[in-house]
Structure formats: structure tokens, C-alpha cells
């Protein structure tokens, strides 16, 4: 009898959980439920599940944050993220964290069941491959008793071998093909009979990969590579592959043969790149709109308030009495506060100084605003050097620095925050350091506030610019974050 697949449902909505349990059990799945991320992690450590269906908005965690600890506890576990707030950034984040699928709310149960079926089928195929190869190796050492079992296993192996979409090549320890499956032969543009007896690296010369193959034979340890440009397709276009090299050892522990498995992930790679491009376009559109709104606030509301002040001043000069004059002063004080609030709102939306004066002036103004608004001691240092920095880079660096400063104020319990700018060899480096509580960087917290884009997205946006985020922190020792990005021109100018 076929073993029933076990599915973990992680959702803090009991009505959703009840519906999912009813649907999945009706279709032959065993289910276990968890109402929080911590409960789910405990269950994954104690039980074996094929698939976890995880709501992305839990009370104690976001669903995507559970993928990594899930995989650490059970590498074969497939995770399906369910979200009611689909976006390009959500999809990109789920893919990068290792989700097997993303399902939108309200849930299409036919789609969900199809995704679960795909996950369990792939898992069964991989498990069967591993079991079959192990069975074949053991049966060879027990030939007398196991001939019939070997024949049956070979038949099943043959069906899996020649019908899986995964490219599989069986090699000897000198990298000569013993056989390949149909998928491998089709990808190479030759019949299956073409490969046996030929050297892998005569057909596909690659110095780095040959070194890897030799190291696997020497150490007996398997090797994995992800999104590697291993081969090209028939049209001579670059392709990307997840691939692994599994050594097969004899009874003495010596590597005798190798199994090479490849999975074409070119489409996934292209989708990721498209999502990153769309995310960048969306971010640019958002900043353009912020700038437009900020300009409208300045040109209309700000100017109107300033003109009102002038007119009230003239009216006060003609006031008939002290009481009327005092009321005018009260109104002018309210308008003063409104003007200050408008200027602060404009700066938060899109600081004009960033575009009109430059990045350094905007960061200095940020330090002043933060100290005045939150009472945290701010120190700003500028090396007084200048480089031509394009607008996109300026905006990304300023938003990232502002995010880090706000996070330090809200989460680090910092008494002092230091912001410094340095221009080094055609690049710009912004350092945000605080003397707050710090944290263990091996378990980096989700530093993100409403409307912000967090450490993960800071890193992603810098990466698109060819830059990087460097993080140094220890509990009780504060946090230092460095934002590094190339300038648009390498000509350094001295003020």
C-alpha cells in the first residue's frame, strides 16, 4: 500500500486551517497543523513532512523567514507560501529564500493541490533514485541471493532513468561515459548510444569543472552547484543549471563511478532577473511619485502657508486692539507649526536637498532631523571629497542610510548614531554605526519598519548597483553597517 504523504499546515486562522485540513484529507493526505512559526519549527524538528503550507503573515514570523530553518531541519521538505499580498518583491523574496511555490489568497484549491502533487512527485523521484542506486550497490555484493531483486530494481531504475526530466550521466572514475538517460542525450543533441566510451571533458572541455570532478574522486564527497553556467544549448545561448556529482564507492570505500545529475534552471534564472528588473522599475516609479508629491507640497501648500503668514503680519499691523492682535499671533503660531510639519513631511517623502545640493548635504540634514525629532545624539562626518554620482545611486544610498538610522533609533536603543561618508577609488562608502544593543549576525533580525525596505532589500538594491552591504554587530557592542556603491564617474574632485 502506498504511504500517505504528510502535510504540515501553518496558519493562525483556525477557519483557514479547518478548510485546508478537510480538502487535503479528502485527497489522501495526512495533515498536522501549527498556529505559529515557533510551533511549526518544533514540529518539523520532531516529525517528517513532505510539504509545508505556510501563511506568509503569522503572528510571530513571516512565512518566508521559516523556509531556511525548515530546510536546515529537513532538507527534503518543500515549502509552499500562501499570501494575500502578492507583489514582485514578495515573489522575489520567496524564490530567493527557497520556496517551492507561491499561492495567492483566496486560495485556488485545484492550484494548491497541483503544487503539492508536483512537490511530492519530485521528492519521490529523488528518493527512488537514491534508494535504487544504494540497492544496486548492495545487490552486487550479494549476487547469489539478489539476482531477481536486482532485475526488478533495474527495470524500475530504467523507467525512472529514461523518463525523468533531470539529465543523468553515469561515468567511471576517469570521467568516461558509461551511459546517459534520454534527457541528457536530447540536451546534448546526440542519440543515447553516442556517449558510452567517450570522455566527458573531450566533449565538454571545462578546466574548473574537471578540477571539481577530480576532487570528488579524491575525497569521495558529493558536490552541488546552483545556477551554474555549465553548458550551452543548441542555439549556443548561455544556460544555467543546478547540478550535482555523486560518487559511487566500492566496499573498500574507493570511488569507482560517478553519477552526474543536471537540472536546467535557465527559465527560473530569467524569471528572477525579470522580477529584479521589475522591482527596480517599481522602486523608481515610487521615488518619482514621492518627488512629485513633495514638490506639490512645497509649491502649493508650503507657499500658501508662507503667504498666509505675510498677510497675517500685515493684518496684525492694522489690528484694532490688543486682544485681536493676540489672536492673530496664535494663528501665526499654528501656521508656523504647519510650515515646519510640511517641511518635515517633504523631507521624509523626497528631500529636495538630495537633488539640488547632493547626497552629503541630504545625509547631514537627515542627522539634524533625527536628532531634533528623536533626541538621539547624531554625529555626521564627511571627507569633503566629491565624485559624480548618478541620481539612482544617490537615491538608493540615501534611502538605505535613512532606513539604517531609523532602525537604530527604533530597535537598537542607541544613545549615539554616527553617519560618515568616504569617497574611495571611484566608489562611495556610507557608514552608519550605533552604540546600541547589537545582535548576533548569524541570526540577523528582520530590521524593517512600515514603509521601509529592510536589510534584505537594502542588500538587493545595492547589488543591482554593483555595490554591497557590510554588517558588523555583536550583542551589547552596537552595530556598524557599511553601504558601498560605485560612483557614476571615477573622477574625484576636492572641494
214 and 261 in a common domain: yes
Which CATH number do you get for residue 393? 3.30.565.10
Which CATH number do you get for residue 31? 3.40.50.2300
Burial category of 107 from C-beta neighbours within 10 Å (exposed 0-12, middle 13-18, buried 19 and up): middle
Looking at residue 340, what is its pLDDT?
A: 74
116 and 57 in a common domain: yes
152 and 78 in a common domain: no
107 and 48 in a common domain: yes
Domain tally, the chain: 3
161 and 117 in a common domain: no
Looking at residue 421, what is its pLDDT?
A: 93
Give yes or no for residue 234 having a pLDDT over 70: no
391 domain-assigned: yes
| Window from 187-191, 240-244, 439-443 with minimum mean pLDDT | 439-443
387 and 486 in a common domain: yes
Mean model confidence pLDDT for the chain: 82
Looking at residue 139, what is its pLDDT?
A: 65
| Window from 3-12, 28-37, 284-293 with minimum mean pLDDT | 284-293
128 domain-assigned: no
Cα(264)–Cα(168) distance, integer angstroms:
12
168 domain-assigned: yes
440 and 387 in a common domain: yes
155 and 110 in a common domain: no
Looking at residue 455, what is its pLDDT?
A: 78
326 domain-assigned: no
The mean pLDDT value for 245-260 works out to 93
Share of the chain above pLDDT 90, in %: 21
Sorting pLDDT into bands at 50, 70 and 90, what band is 444? Answer: low
Sorting pLDDT into bands at 50, 70 and 90, what band is 151? Answer: confident
233 and 177 in a common domain: yes
Domain boundary among 268, 295, 323: 268
Instruction: Please state the φ and ψ torsions of residue 206, each to the nearest 5 degrees.
Output: -165, 105
Domain hosting 49: range is 6-122
Domain boundary among 242, 268, 294: 268
127 domain-assigned: no
Which CATH number do you get for residue 263? 3.30.450.20
Cβ-based neighbours of 430, under 8 Å, separated by 6 or more: 363, 397, 400, 401, 419, 420, 421, 482, 483
Cα(451)–Cα(444) distance, integer angstroms:
20
Domain boundary among 207, 241, 268: 268
328 domain-assigned: no
Give yes or no for residue 1 having a pLDDT over 60: no
The mean pLDDT value for 228-240 works out to 64
487 and 413 in a common domain: yes
Indicate the pairing of strand 78-83 with strand 101-104.
parallel
Amino acid at each position: 500500500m502506498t504511504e500517505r504523504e504528510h502535510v504540515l499546515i501553518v496558519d493562525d486562522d483556525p477557519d483557514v486551517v479547518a478548510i485546508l485540513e478537510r480538502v487535503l484529507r479528502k485527497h489522501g493526505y495526512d495533515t498536522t497543523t501549527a498556529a505559529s512559526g515557533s510551533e511549526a519549527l518544533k514540529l518539523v524538528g520532531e516529525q517528517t513532512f513532505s510539504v509545508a503550507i505556510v501563511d506568509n503573515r503569522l503572528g510571530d514570523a513571516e512565512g518566508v523567514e521559516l523556509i531556511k530553518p525548515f530546510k536546515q531541519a529537513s532538507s527534503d521538505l518543500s515549502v509552499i507560501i500562501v499570501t494575500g499580498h502578492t507583489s514582485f518583491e514578495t515573489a522575489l523574496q520567496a524564490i530567493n529564500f527557497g520556496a517551492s511555490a507561491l499561492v495567492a489568497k483566496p486560495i485556488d484549491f485545484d492550484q494548491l493541490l497541483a503544487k503539492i502533487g508536483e512537490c511530492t512527485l519530485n521528492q519521490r523521484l529523488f528518493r527512488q533514485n537514491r534508494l535504487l542506486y544504494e540497492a544496486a550497490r548492495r545487490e552486487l555484493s550479494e549476487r547469489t541471493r539478489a539476482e531477481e531483486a536486482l532485475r526488478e530494481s533495474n527495470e524500475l531504475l530504467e523507467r525512472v532513468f529514461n523518463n525523468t526530466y533531470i539529465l543523468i550521466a553515469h561515468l567511471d572514475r576517469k570521467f568516461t561515459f558509461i551511459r546517459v538517460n534520454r534527457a541528457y542525450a536530447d540536451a546534448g543533441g546526440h542519440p543515447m548510444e553516442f556517449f558510452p566510451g567517450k570522455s566527458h571533458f573531450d566533449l565538454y572541455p571545462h578546466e574548473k569543472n574537471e578540477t571539481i570532478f577530480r576532487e570528488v574522486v579524491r575525497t569521495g564527497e558529493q558536490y552541488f552547484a546552483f545556477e551554474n553556467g555549465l553548458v550551452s544549448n543548441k542555439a549556443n545561448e548561455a544556460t544555467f543549471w543546478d547540478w550535482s556529482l555523486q560518487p559511487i564507492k566500492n566496499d573498500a570505500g574507493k570511488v569507482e563511478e560517478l553519477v552526474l545529475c543536471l537540472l536546467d534552471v535557465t527559465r527560473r534564472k530569467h524569471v528572477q532577473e525579470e522580477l529584479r528588473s521589475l522591482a527596480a522599475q517599481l522602486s523608481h516609479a515610487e521615488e518619482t511619485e514621492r518627488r512629485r508629491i513633495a514638490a506639490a507640497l512645497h509649491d502649493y501648500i508650503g507657499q500658501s502657508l508662507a503667504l498666509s503668514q505675510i498677510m497675517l503680519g500685515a493684518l496684525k499691523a492694522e489690528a484694532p486692539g490688543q486682544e485681536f492682535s493676540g489672536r492673530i499671533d496664535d494663528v501665526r503660531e499654528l501656521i508656523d507649526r504647519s510650515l515646519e510639519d510640511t517641511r518635515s513631511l517633504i523631507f521624509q517623502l523626497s528631500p529636495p536637498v538630495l537633488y539640488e545640493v547632493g547626497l552629503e548635504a541630504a545625509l547631514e540634514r537627515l542627522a539634524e532631523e533625527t536628532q531634533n525629532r528623536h533626541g538621539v545624539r547624531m554625529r555626521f562626518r564627511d571627507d569633503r571629497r566629491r565624485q559624480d554620482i548618478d541620481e539612482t545611486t544617490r537615491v538608493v544610498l540615501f534611502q538605505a542610510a535613512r532606513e539604517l538610522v531609523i532602525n537604530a533609533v527604533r530597535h537598537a536603543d542607541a544613545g549615539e548614531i554616527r553617519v560618515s561618508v568616504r569617497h574611495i577609488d571611484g566608489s562611495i562608502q556610507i557608514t552608519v554605526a550605533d552604540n546600541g544593543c547589537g545582535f548576533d549576525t548569524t541570526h540577523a533580525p528582520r530590521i524593517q519598519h512600515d514603509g521601509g525596505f529592510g536589510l534584505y532589500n537594502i542588500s538587493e538594491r545595492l547589488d543591482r548597483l554593483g555595490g554591497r552591504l557590510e554588517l558588523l554587530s555583536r550583542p551589547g557592542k552596537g552595530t556598524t553597517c557599511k553601504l558601498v556603491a560605485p560612483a557614476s564617474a571615477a573622477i574625484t574632485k576636492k572641494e
